[in-house]
Chains A and B, each alone.
Chain A
Amino acid sequence: MGEAYIGAGIAIGLAALGTGLGVGILAAKAMDGIARQPEAQNSIRTSMIIAITFIEAIALYALVIGLILATK
């Protein structure tokens, strides 16, 4: 039973690592784009938020897996 908790922790930890990297790179590029072209700020922000939700979803898949492991 203890292994399941360790597995859940590792799953959510690795997912958070990947998601953090992904969102970090995405936000950096978006800010780059806004700095180059401040008049495109609104459209860049909208597409950034949409892309962030896609990346976030991957961490949430790991959350679901972790919950399945931890509440078995």
Chain B
Amino acid sequence: MNIFSHISERIVVPLKIAGIDLSITNEILVMWIAIFCIILFFYFGSKKVSIVPNRFQNLVEMYVLTLWENIEPIVLNRAWLPFFCGLFSLILFCNLLGGIPGIVPPTVNINFTATLAVCIFLITQIVGIKQNGIRKYFLSFVPSNVPFGILIFIIPMEVLSQFIRPFSLSIRLFANIFAGHAVTLTIISLIFIFKSYWVIPGSLIGHLLISVFEIFVAFIQAFIFTFLSAFYIGSSLNLEKH
């Protein structure tokens, strides 16, 4: 029995296409539920758009505008709003669904976060080359006004930092959500470690506090992921301004 069985994936519908394992696991189902929730959230938020917004439209407007306020100075282009809003919503709703007992959020699986991070890496490179031209983009790795002796250390570091970004991006999100669930399990299992009924109130109060903290972490981590992706994409989009 694995101690992480409560957050490990289980195959719901076995599926194999051309030798590739495409089984539908419980995490994928949760991801679909999250996407469905996002669609409902924005559909009902923008159903009856009026100048004087009702409560729900107000919430959606605040949600989008707060996100965009933080990202606009980096990206400088309104066309990126749907992408970053979608990224933020996907991570946020997945994280929040993990707060329901028995539901495994996709973000505790490193495959999910690594996929997002690799996509961000590819988008960063493609957009940078498309916007600035291949020569100008790769010349941006070479800082000006630096002596040659230091340059041979700086260029590999700059190139390496591009490849380290997806690792730190994916492990940060994965480890934060994973650690939250591991701490929840530890606090609940204190009851079974001490084998006493007297531990139950303390354990439950601790669980409540950790859960509240987890909701906070869900928002912060979704925002950090989006903010850092915006920073990476923005810095390769607008080479002169950074």
Contacts and interface: CB of A to CB of B under 8 A. Distances in A.
A57 B172 contact: yes
B171 A64 contact: yes
B184 interface: no
A37 interface: no
Which among A50, A57, A61, A71 has the greatest number of chain B C-beta atoms within 10 A?
A: A57
B176 interface: yes
Contacts of B172: 53, 57, 60
Interface string A50-65: 1001101100110110
Contact of B171 (A53, A61, A71): A61
B191 interface: no
A49 interface: yes
B220 A53 contact: yes
Interface residues of B, number: 14
A61 B178 CA distance: 11
Contacts of A50: 220, 224, 227
A63 B178 CA distance: 10
Contacts of B220: 49-50, 53
Contacts of A49: 220
A49 B171 CA distance: 19
Given A49-B220, A50-B224, A56 B171 contact: no
B224 A64 contact: no
Contacts of A63: 175, 179
A50 B221 CA distance: 9
Interface of B: 3-4, 168, 171-172, 174-176, 178-179, 220-221, 224, 227
Interface of A: 49-50, 53-54, 56-57, 60-61, 63-64, 71
21 contacts: A49-B220, A50-B220, A50-B224, A50-B227, A53-B172, A53-B176, A53-B220, A53-B224, A54-B224, A57-B168, A57-B171, A57-B175, A60-B175, A60-B176, A61-B171, A63-B175, A63-B179, A64-B171, A64-B174, A64-B178, A71-B4
